[in-house]
Structure 1
Amino acid sequence: MPSTTGLQFSPLEGQPFGATVHMPSYTKDPSQLNEADFAELKSALLKYSVLVVPDQADLSPESQHALTVKFDETTGTAYGHDEKLFHSSKSILAKDGKSVPRRPEVMMVGNGHFEAGHEGMKEFTLEHPTHFHFHKSILGEKEIANNQTRFYRWHIDAALYELAPPVVTTLLGLIVPSTNEKQTIVYEDTKESKEVVKGATAFASGKIAFDLLSEEQKQFALNTTVVYAPHPYMYINNCKATSDGLTIESETPPKEVPLNELPAWEDSKIKRLPLVWTNPGTKNPHLQVHGCCVYQLVNTTTGEVIAELEEARKIVHGLMRPAISPEHIYCHGWTKGDLCIFHNRGVIHSVTGEFAPHEKRLMHQCNVASGEDPLLFK
């Protein structure tokens, strides 16, 4: 779908979704696209769900933020999380990144120690999220020796309390491992496997997730609201995930932080979001849920609670599990300068990979809270 100025999109070969963006001759910076070309870019994102723009190593935090904001006219431009809560030692997200000082909506994520100077930072250390810190059961020494890895946590980038989920996330690879290094994800329930480039970011499509449901499941999903826990990342701070990273293992005694021990919260700020969201471009239904933060499932029409915590997790896991099967996901193996733009309301995603402490990886991630919650699919 070329534009008159050369903007083009090439579907990712052999992948279930996604496309590469070829920039027009007049600019290398996607935040500087003219109005017509940006409209094409946004339309393509809603169609392909994940766009890869190569050769963006020089993209500044200011440009990355400006680009991210342009996808959502309702945003106030603030980061997608409450930054104080995001960095709290009592949040499961506490180690997930550091803000660029002059553009705090852009987070630095990765692994290793970095000397002073990057984007005005003093020396700093990043830690790659790993299943060893988050999963109830972990890989053994033999599996690690065989270069196995896991999906860390499938999620939507969203605070899921007070702030509306971002429409788009942009992720820029600056220091990345060699694309020749491979690791393997083994699915414990089916023994299928997926070879990925070390440190690949995995994406699963909400559209595919919905399409894979039975007719009965589709009707259930279309009539269900997900209630998320207040301050959900604090609520699950002591919990461990299932081995596929889709949701949380419910344990006895419970590991969840009691609601009365969380920071002050208001019922009106709890997120109650439809289980199926509307893609504003294609009008397709997308099954979109952050399985680790689910609290209850409620009937959209009657308000009746369908499932309490443990059962809600099991139901969500059953609905989403087919969509993360090897043939349905796209795992992006990073090349320096890759900019991934993904429809945060159309896909879920997960970190993969195991890194030694000395291995360096540096990425810039940006998302901005929307001014409106996603629409129920009708």
Structure 2
Amino acid sequence: MHSDSIHISPLEHKFGCKVDLPKYCNNDPINLNDDDFKQLFEAVHKYLVVVIPGLEELAPKSQYLLTKRFDPSIPEPKAEGFAGYGHGKEFRHEQSVLRKDGTTVKSQPQVQILGQGVFEADEPGNENGEQISLTHPSHTSFHKSPLTEDQIKNEHKTRYYRWHIDSALYELSPPMVTTLLGIKVPPLTKTNTISYGDNEDPSKETTKEVAQGATCFVSGAEAFKRLSDEEKEFALNTTIEYAPHPYIFISPAKATADGLTMVSEGKELPFDKLPEWEQSKVKFLPMVWTNPVTKEHHLQIHGCCLFKLHTKLNGETTTLTLEQSREKVHSLMRPAIEPENVLAHGWNQGDLVIFFNRGVWHSVTGEFKGVNQGADEKRLMHQCNIASGADPKTIF
């Protein structure tokens, strides 16, 4: 119900909240006054995932301006087509694992169009004035040991596609927040069973029931709290070195069944086979980031894109290899994705989800019918996240 000020309702989960906008906004959060925006800003940092319903007509420009309002350090675009994140250079590169994950809104290049199915030029949500074809990411092309066709179609099983933080992880700093708008989504009548793939005995397999196509989140703060004292000391003193052009680096490799990292088989592209890169643009980020509002530590790792871990303890620095680094981060991250810790957002049409990208990890889930099949499973979403002006820090 609309009122004269913002209304925040915590979700029945360990984190997350629902926000109702005040009447004066006219269903556009960019119209929030300074006091109400401050409440929204603090809610995003406190609850980590904020859901604002009923915004299917939100304009791409408003979504961009709202996203940008969360981070005053974001630089203004300096060149035509500059998306402020690296979509053009990194994500749409023909070798990138993300190359099929959507297209850009022509009138607002900071906003990406994601989804499933073919949308004609005049369909609602298609801002580009031409036919677009969208493909929902499927673990079947990204995981080393995907589910079988029978498990997917008849048992309605799925996987976490890829647990990640939204970031180019090369040259550009991780965005502060991501906004994700469900413009057209299938009705919440179908469910999927997420298979963790960590046990050969089906009767002992870890699973979680979610709405079809749910976006899943875990709290980096809760992930850090679950670590042992020894693990916390390790995490607080470790820097993650990410690979140059990481989404291209990992393109020949395959992910683990839980989507936390990659399987080490030596299939990554050699550095001399990557597009031109500069050592000064390689990202070295702390393993733990500090929430600027709550001051909590968040374990923030992009397990698929890392290259090495550098740990400085007692005046000595230890560096782990790629394989060792993957094994280590998997051991730190795996407890956080236990079913009870995962917030699975099932999409209603018009949901705008704002999440603190520097405080959560998230993953796509679900399988949809092919782009030329199943009009009942078409989905169209607008996503916006913009590279920050500075890297995250850990404050002890």
TM-score, normalization by structure 2: 0.92
Give runs of aligned pairs for residues 261-340 of structure 1, distance below 5 A.
Answer: 261-300=273-312, 304-340=317-353
Distance in structure 2 (CA, Å) of the matches to 1:84 and 1:219: 36
Question: For residues 253-299 of structure 1, what are the alpha-carbon distances to aligned partners after superposition, in whole Å with 9 as ceiling and x for unaligned?
Answer: x1100001111111111100000000000000000010000100002
Deviates more, 1:269-278 or 1:24-33: 24-33
Name the SS of the counterpart of 1:291 in structure 2.
Answer: coil
* Pairing 1:180–2:189 present: yes
Distance in structure 2 (CA, Å) of the matches to 1:372 and 1:304: 25
Percent identical across equivalent pairs? 52
**Aligned residue for 2:130?**
122
Report the CA distance shift for 1:71/1:140 in structure 2 as closer, same or farther (over 3 A).
same
Question: For residues 136-161 of structure 1, what are the alpha-carbon distances to aligned partners after superposition, in whole Å with 9 as ceiling and x for unaligned?
Answer: 00112332211001100000000000
**Aligned residue for 1:133?**
141
For 1:201, the aligned partner's letter is T
**Aligned residue for 1:146?**
155
Question: For residues 313-368 of structure 1, what are the alpha-carbon distances to aligned partners after superposition, in whole Å with 9 as ceiling and x for unaligned?
Answer: 01011101111110001010000000000000000100000011123110000000
Kept in 2, the 8 Å contact 1:162–1:269? The answer is: yes
Question: For residues 40-85 of structure 1, what are the alpha-carbon distances to aligned partners after superposition, in whole Å with 9 as ceiling and x for unaligned?
Answer: 1001110000000000011000000000000001002543224132
Deviates more, 1:282-291 or 1:119-128: 119-128
Distance in structure 1 (CA, Å) of the matches to 2:312 and 2:176: 23
Question: Among residues 74, 93, 98, which one is paired with 1:93 in the alignment?
Answer: 98
What count of residue pairs does the alignment treat as equivalent?
374
Distance in structure 2 (CA, Å) of the matches to 1:341 and 1:300: 35
Deviates more, 1:304-313 or 1:278-287: 304-313
Question: After the TM superposition, which parts of structure 1 deviate over 6 Å for at least 4 consecutive aligned residues?
Answer: none
For 1:133, the aligned partner's letter is S
TM-score, normalization by structure 1: 0.96
Distance in structure 2 (CA, Å) of the matches to 1:292 and 1:104: 26
Shift of 1:31: 1.1
Name the SS of the counterpart of 2:304 in structure 1.
Answer: helix
Shift of 1:185: 0.7
**Aligned residue for 1:352?**
365
**Aligned residue for 1:363?**
381
Distance in structure 2 (CA, Å) of the matches to 1:56 and 1:113: 22
Report the CA distance shift for 1:341/1:303 in structure 2 as closer, same or farther (over 3 A).
farther
Shift of 1:177: 1.5
Kept in 2, the 8 Å contact 1:225–1:297? The answer is: yes
Kept in 2, the 8 Å contact 1:116–1:122? The answer is: yes
**Aligned residue for 1:65?**
64
**Aligned residue for 1:109?**
114
**Aligned residue for 1:157?**
166
Distance in structure 2 (CA, Å) of the matches to 1:131 and 1:35: 42
**Aligned residue for 1:12?**
11
**Aligned residue for 2:261?**
247
Shift of 1:300: 4.2
Distance in structure 2 (CA, Å) of the matches to 1:156 and 1:314: 19
**Aligned residue for 1:257?**
269
Name the SS of the counterpart of 2:127 in structure 1.
Answer: helix
Name the SS of the counterpart of 1:125 in structure 2.
Answer: strand
Kept in 2, the 8 Å contact 1:101–1:121? The answer is: no
Name the SS of the counterpart of 1:353 in structure 2.
Answer: coil
Structure 1, unpaired ranges of 5+ = none
Kept in 2, the 8 Å contact 1:111–1:126? The answer is: yes
Distance in structure 2 (CA, Å) of the matches to 1:239 and 1:303: 32
Q: CA RMSD in A?
A: 1.6
**Aligned residue for 1:38?**
37
* Pairing 1:229–2:247 present: no
Structure 2, unpaired ranges of 5+ = 77-82, 199-203
Distance in structure 1 (CA, Å) of the matches to 2:391 and 2:296: 17
